[in-house]
Amino acid sequence: MTEQDVRTLLAKLPPLREEIGKIIVGQQQVLDEVLVALLAGGHALLEGVPGLAKTLLVRTLASATDLPFRRIQFTPDLMPTDILGTEVLEEDHGTGHRSFKFNQGPIFASLVLADEINRTPPKTQAALLEAMQEGHVTYAGQEHALPKPFFLLATQNPIEQSGTYPLPEAQLDRFLLYIRIGYPTEQEELAVLSGTTGSARAEVKAVLGGEDIRQLQQLVRQVSLSPELLDFVNRLVRATRPATSTVKFIQEYGRWGAGPRAGQALILCAKARALLQGRFAATLDDIRTLAPPVLRHRVLLNFNAEAENLTPDDAVAALLKDVAV
C-alpha cells in the first residue's frame, strides 16, 4: 500500500462514525471499542440491560460498512445446525444421481450478531468456538471457510439469571473485548426520545467495504509499539496471575489470571485505537484505556471478592495502579 492509499483508507473512518452517529446517540466509548475490535480482527461481547440499543448498534454498523449481515436469535431450543448449516440430499433429475450438498447457515456472513448468546445451552454456544478461532467451520469432516472479514458481535443481558447459561471461560477468552454498555446521559436520552418518536428517519450510507476493512486490519499490525510498552503489557498480564503477582489485590482476591492471549489482544487493540485516531504508534494511554475491556473477562476473582462486591474492573484498576510503567 502506498502512503496515499493509507491516507484514503484512514479518511473513511471519521465518516463511518458520523453515519453510525445518525442512529446511535452518545455511547462514544462503546462505539470506539466496537470499531477497535473490528479493526483488530477479533470479536466482541456486548453486555447491557435491555433497551440500550445493543442490537441497533450492530445493525447500524452493518449498514455503514456494507458487509453481509446475519442475525441469530439465541434461544434454549437452538441447535448447532441452526447456526452452522446442514447437509441435504439432492437428486439430479437428469441422471438420477444423488449427492449431499452443504447448505450454509447464518454464520456464513461477514458480520454476525449473536443476540442474547447466554440464552442457549453450552452445546450450541460451543458451535461458535471453531468459527471464532479458526475462521472456518467443519461439518462431516469437511472444512468450510468463512468470509473475510468475519466479525462476530454477541450480546447478553447481565441482570437475568433464570433460563440463561453463562459462557464458559474458554469461550469468553475467544472474545477480544468484553464491552459493557451503560445508561445514556440525561441529554443523550432526551435526544433519543426526540429523534425516535417522530416521523423522520435517518438513512445510513455505506462508507467502508469488505476490502477496506481487510486492508485496515493488515495496517493495524504495522502500527508501531515501543519495546518499553511491549514489556509493560507483558508485566501487566503476568501480574493478573495470583501465583506470581506482586499486586496485593490479586494476591488477596485473585483466583485465576489471564493467559498470553490477553497480551496479544491488548497489543492489537492498542494499535487499532491508535489507527482510529490517525496515529501510527500506540501509546501508554491506548493500553490503559483498553485494559478493562480486554482483561475483565479474563481475570477470575475468588469468593472473598464476591463477598465484598469487588469486580474484575476493580482488579484491572489495581493492576494499572500498581504495575510500574
| pLDDT, block means (10 residues), the chain with 325 residues | 83 87 83 92 88 83 87 90 84 75 86 90 86 84 86 85 79 90 85 77 83 90 93 94 90 90 94 91 94 92 90 92 88
pLDDT of residue 186: 86
What residues are paired with 301 via a beta bridge? 254
pLDDT of residue 35: 92
Burial 286-303 (b: 16+ CB within 10 A, else e): bbebbbbbbbbbbbbbee
pLDDT of residue 160: 66
pLDDT of residue 129: 86
Contact 316, 292 (CB under 8 A): yes
pLDDT of residue 285: 94
